[in-house]
Structure 1
Amino acid sequence: MSPPSTAGARGAVPDENALAELAEWVAIASVSSDPDRARDVRRSAGWLVEALRRTGFPRAEPWETDGLPAVYASWPAADPGAPALLVYSHHDVHAVDPSEWRVAEAFVPLVRDGRLHGRGASDAKGQVMSHLWAVRAHLARRTAPAVTVKYLMEGEEEVGSVHLADLLSEHAEDLSADVVMVSDSMLWSLDEPTVCAAVRGSVTATLGIRGAERDVHSGAVSGAAANAAVELCRLVDLLSDASGRVTLPGFYDAVAAPAPDLRAGVGAVPFDLADWQAATGTFGTPGEAGFTAPERLWVRPSAEVARLTAGRTDAPALGLIPAEASADLLFRLVPDQRADHVADQLRAWLDLHRQPCFTYDLEIPPTISDPYRTPPDARALTALTRAVGHAYGAPAGHVGNGGAAPGAQLARACDAPVLFFGTGLPGDRWHGPDERVEVGALRLGVSALARFLDELSAPGGAGTPS
């Protein structure tokens, strides 16, 4: 299925000039986790401000934080009574190991075979640019947007959005909106029209274990000394049972049944295991028994281990028993779970499994996030569903998203329904080597977003019925 062309609208399709514009931004190494790249993150913010001004936004400016800058822009609608749309995304990118990149260097973008390769091409600079191109297409037949358009593009998403709450509080008036759209999301595929109507929440934690004052030669203590690495492996194994269910006490007490439209959407989306494995580079679909892979991705919670560290990593092990070990843990949550409750459950779980010959340190950062479900009766969700269906040329269904986003946080701060629409794909290799974005996905995004602005401006296009 091929999306309809929007070539007649100025700037609508990412042609060579538009892709060159995106590539110029991708070339800025805005890695927020690297203090040496702080200047590049600021350059990225400045680049985006200028791109917004070129598009015509009368207000576009960096917003400073105690860390790295966000970008804000606004363009009032021609009609003062029109709804206001706030688009949230980010301009910082994930860290890079240059030795792992094969197709192109991370910050030397390359267009090849219908894809633009480079760090941030999909997550999330390509998504942000699709909004700018859509606004340009929308303005091809008018002098001002049909709805007030506002952007908040933070510069610290990849390090946990540590100052997002401050931005939302300090700039509440500027960020007021009738509808919020999170543009840091994925399409299911280029062939199946779907709209993300729910995102999972997340709790991250680092579990540190110590069994000795220092590394000890195994010849002196093997078999009679506490081994932090072995204890860490024991605890990681205990995180889930034989059926793949998470073992935190009370973890499933608040897991709600999937909403009917989500259940129908999950069941209707074609899922080919071989294609999915090829796109994601995975070898199989283990997980909670009794559920399909799409159900595990979208409507069930999960526990993952993101990193394990123990022993010498800079030299041969030399027969040493490691004194300490650590694991980075990640829990994905679904409605109606609460992130703070799951954090407490994790602490209680660790207390159940402590052993006297080890010390334990559990760190849970404050950047946990709750799951969020777009209100199914939100008129804006209907408008977006129609717009995506128009772009694909077929009716769109509702699905979930396997990752997390600050949907609940934005909904509380703005007192507005939150939508999700992005141009990423499961095979775009977010956070991995050789990240890329499909030009076809950008084209679909532009078509859907330009149509969405029209749909949102129609009577009853925004908000939730009372």
Structure 2
Amino acid sequence: MTDPLESSLRQAVVAQSDVMLGALAEWVSIASVSADPARKTDVTRSARWLCATLRTFGFPMVEEWSTDGLPAVYACWPADDPAADTLLVYSHHDVHAVKEEEWCETSPFTPALRDGRLFGRGASDAKGQVISHLWALRAHLSDGRTAPPVTLKLLIEGEEEIGSVHLADLLADHREALAADLVMVSDTMLWSLDDAAVCTTVRGSVNAHLEIRGAHRDVHSGAVSGAAPNPLTELCRILGQLHDDEGRITLPGFYDSVRESPPDEQAEQDPLPAVDHDAWLSDTGTFAVVGEEDRSIQERIWFRPSAEVSSMVGGDPEEPARGVIPAAASADLLLRLVPDQSADEVAEQLGRWLEGHGGKSFQYDLEVSSTKSDPYTTPADLPALAVLRRSMADAFGGPPRRMGNGGAAPAAQLSRAMEAPVLFFGTGLLDDRWHGPDEKVEAQALIRGAHTLAAFYRGLS
């Protein structure tokens, strides 16, 4: 028999669909691209739009928090019961850069709703995820309640897409305001709309920039070709040794802390439907599945580390060829880490690897970003995790399994700063095209997400 309480929650969520999707579309139209200095004003506009919306929803305390970079938004709505737990929700309102010429469904910041999908940059990552929390709160208040069942705090930062460069400062400067019993990170994905799964682990990350220099200046190739060192060739040689023939990463000691999936955790993975190879290629737009051949796609993305080259620069890629050997070439590297790896240790391993592979004819400069993050796994015995599982079962119509998230999130940083455990819940899907053209969010994902969250708030109380 359907629980009347859960049925009423779903009805309240569905009743707000047009209003909430309209609000999301309005927010998506603000081009809050944090990586583009020319969009700094738009990021501020995005923060202020959210502040105004939160006040409209009834939050009694809403503040725009400035940083040395881009602004974050903080909000707090105390529960009626002073003894109630405090939940801090973390997400972000900045969005990734766009290549407008690659978008087909709509212009990136002209959102379009078609067939239950809202297209636009940030619709899924992560403005839609923030809206799902507001949607859930409105559903909870629809029957005359005047406050959330737990003290609800929001921290929505404006620099996540550029590495959360000032998040540590925010956490330190506002520690008392952010104090919470539990943290929820809403910047993750669902398994699917048909098979529910609760995310319990996210990978960490280490970003690095490698520059190789072979000369003080570009040199005419006709004068020195065959005798002068070529940093582009050396860059290709170095990066070609980042993986062995079996797809494993060659950093010294890299796998020493990488453990196999624990038996109980792996058992919960097995009931998930096997990944359809062709569907996965279609959803991701890739040509093949690569990596460790003895691992499933889920294992490779959730429980195994990875190392990617995200960009390479050298010579004159967008200019007429000048017939020179470039003085320098560079690449950006992104390593994803899994429990029990440490971002600091992996950064050191990367440096040792370069020392062992570099040649004598070049100068090497490796710069590791300060915004590296550790992986994080929600404690399996956390009572709030059981509440989330029950809430998701109510919204999705079946018991959820456990999944991971291939991307990184500042969960470990938040947990340490707040001295509180972290849960994950997001409304993204694999084919939402985060960071790519024609990003979209499924209205049903938001509806089920809001239903889950409304039930979760009540369950916590």
Which TM-score band applies after superposition, normalised by the shorter structure?
A: over 0.9
Taking the aligned partners of 1:111 and 1:261, their CA distance within structure 2 comes to 41
2:441 equivalent to 1:437? yes
Q: Which runs of 5+ in 1 are unaligned?
A: 458-466
In structure 1, what is the equivalent of residue 121 of structure 2? 119
- How many angstroms does 1:33 deviate by? 1.1
The question of whether the paired residues in 1 share the 8 Å contact of 2:117 and 2:443 is answered with: yes
Could you tell me whether the CA contact under 8 Å between 1:9 and 1:140 is conserved in 2? no
What is residue 109 of structure 1 aligned with on the other side? 111
Q: Deviations over 1:214-266 (max 9, x none)?
A: 22233222222211111101111111101111110000111123233431233
Counterpart of 1:258 (choices 256, 261, 279) is 261
Aligned to 2:211: 208
Give the superposition deviation at 1:274.
1.1
Distance 1:199 1:129 in 2: 22
| 8 Å Cα contact 1:14/1:442 also seen in 2 | no
TM-score by length of 2: 0.96
Asked if residue 51 in structure 1 is aligned to residue 53 in structure 2, the reply is yes
**Which amino acid letter does the alignment assign opposite residue 421 of structure 2?**
P
Aligned match of 2:232: 229
Counterpart position of 2:193: 190
- The CA distance in 2 between the partners of 1:341 and 1:400, in whole Å, is 22
Q: Quick one: which of 310, 316, 323 aligns to 2:320?
A: 316
Q: Which residue identity is paired with 2:196?
A: P
Q: Alignment partner of 1:162: what SS?
A: coil
Partner of 2:179: 176
Gaps of 5+ in 2: 1-5
| Mapped partners of 2:371, 2:347: distance in 1 | 11
Are 2:17 and 2:447, in contact at CA under 8 Å, matched by a contact in 1? no
Match of 2:3 in 1: none
Mean alpha-carbon deviation: is it higher for 15-24 or for 42-51?
A: 15-24
After superposition, the CA RMSD in angstroms is 1.4
Report the equivalent of 1:290.
294
CA contact (8 A) 1:13 1:446 kept: no
Cα offset for 1:12?
A: 5.0
Instruction: Work out the CA distance in 1 between the residues paired with 2:264 and 2:80.
Output: 35
Conserved in 2, the CA contact under 8 Å of 1:58 and 1:74? Answer: yes
* Structure 2 letter corresponding to 1:370: D
For the residues of structure 1 that align with 2:154 and 2:264, how far apart are their CA atoms? Answer: 29
Change (3 A) 1:388 1:317: same
Cα shift at 1:191:
1.0
For 1:463, the equivalent position in structure 2 comes to none
The structural deviation recorded for 1:308 is 1.1
Q: Which residue of 2 aligns with 1:244?
A: 247
Q: For 1:291-440, what aligned pairs fall within 5 Å after superposition?
A: 291-440=295-444
Structure 1 counterpart SS, 2:252: coil
Scaled by the length of structure 1, the TM-score of the pair is 0.95
Give the superposition deviation at 1:41. 0.7
Give the conservation status (yes or no) of the 8 Å contact 1:189–1:425: yes
In the alignment, the residues of structure 1 paired with residue 135 and residue 460 of structure 2 have an alpha-carbon distance, to the nearest angstrom, of 17
Q: Which moved more, 1:253-262 or 1:34-43?
A: 253-262
Moved more, 15-24 or 102-111: 15-24
Corresponding position: 1:75 with 2:62: no
Distance in 2 between the 1:220 and 1:60 partners?
A: 65
CA distance in 1, matches of 2:299, 2:308: 16
Find out whether 1:279 has 2:295 as its counterpart. Answer: no
Pair 332,387 (structure 1): closer, same or farther in 2 beyond 3 Å: same
User: Separation in 2 of the partners of 1:132 and 1:259?
Assistant: 36
Q: Structure 1 residues 13, 267: CA separation in 2 closer, same or farther (over 3 Å shift)?
A: farther
In 2, the alpha carbon distance for the partners of 1:312 and 1:246 equals 30
SS at match of 2:279: helix
Confirm or deny: 8 A CA contact 1:6 1:447 kept in the other structure.
no
Query: Residue 162 of structure 1 aligns with which residue?
Result: 165
TM-fit CA distance, 1:78: 1.3
Q: 1:434 to 1:13 in 2, by over 3 A?
A: farther
Counterpart of 2:65 in structure 1: which amino acid?
W
Task: Report if aligned partners of 2:13, 2:451 keep a CA contact under 8 Å in 1.
Answer: no
The residue type equivalent to 1:257 in the other structure is E
Cα distance between partner residues in 1 of 2:227 and 2:10: 76
Q: Could you say if the C-alpha distance between residues 244 and 384 of structure 1 is closer, same or farther in structure 2, counting changes exceeding 3 Å?
A: same
- Structure-2 change in CA distance of 1:256 and 1:225 (3 Å): same
The structure 2 residue matched to 1:41, chosen from 43, 47, 51, is 43
Which has the larger displacement, 145-154 or 320-329? 320-329
* Other-structure match for 1:133: 135
Q: Deviation at 1:267?
A: 2.3
2:222 to 219, 223, 243: 219
Instruction: Map residues 12-27 of structure 1 onto 2, 5 A cutoff.
Output: 15-27=17-29
Q: Equivalents in 2 of 1:455, 1:7: separation in Å?
A: 13
Q: Once the 2 structures are TM-superposed, how far is the Cα of residue 319 of structure 1 from its aligned partner? A: 3.0
Give the Cα separation in 2 of the matches to 1:373 and 1:363: 28
- Structure 2: distance between partners of 1:252 and 1:14: 48
Equivalent-residue separation in structure 2 for 1:80 and 1:258 (angstroms): 40
What is the distance in 2 between the residues matched to 1:343 and 1:134?
40
Secondary structure in 1 matching 2:176: coil
Name the SS of the counterpart of 1:416 in structure 2: coil
Alpha-carbon distance, 1:152 to partner:
0.2
Tell me the distance in 1 between the aligned counterparts of 2:349 and 2:213.
22
Q: Matches of 2:366 and 2:151 in 1, distance apart?
A: 45
Q: Which amino acid aligns with 2:165?
A: V
Rounded Cα–Cα distance in structure 1 between residues aligned with 2:109 and 2:362: 44
Alignment deviations for residues 127-170 of structure 1 (CA, whole Å, 9 cap, x no partner)? 10000000111112322111111000001111110110011111
Contact 2:13 2:447 in 1 (8 A): no
Q: Which amino acid aligns with 1:128?
A: V
CA shift, 1:396, in A, is 0.5
Quote the Cα distance in structure 2 between the aligned partners of 1:373 and 1:260. 15
1:462 maps to none
Distance between the aligned counterparts of 1:9 and 1:103, measured in 2? 30
Amino acid at match of 1:16: D
Report the AA paired with residue 242 of structure 1.
Answer: D
Structure 1 contact 76–147 (Cα < 8 Å) conserved: yes
Instruction: Kindly provide the CA deviation profile for residues 54-103 of structure 1, in whole angstroms up to 9, marking residues without a partner as x.
Output: 11111111111111110000111111111110000001111112111111
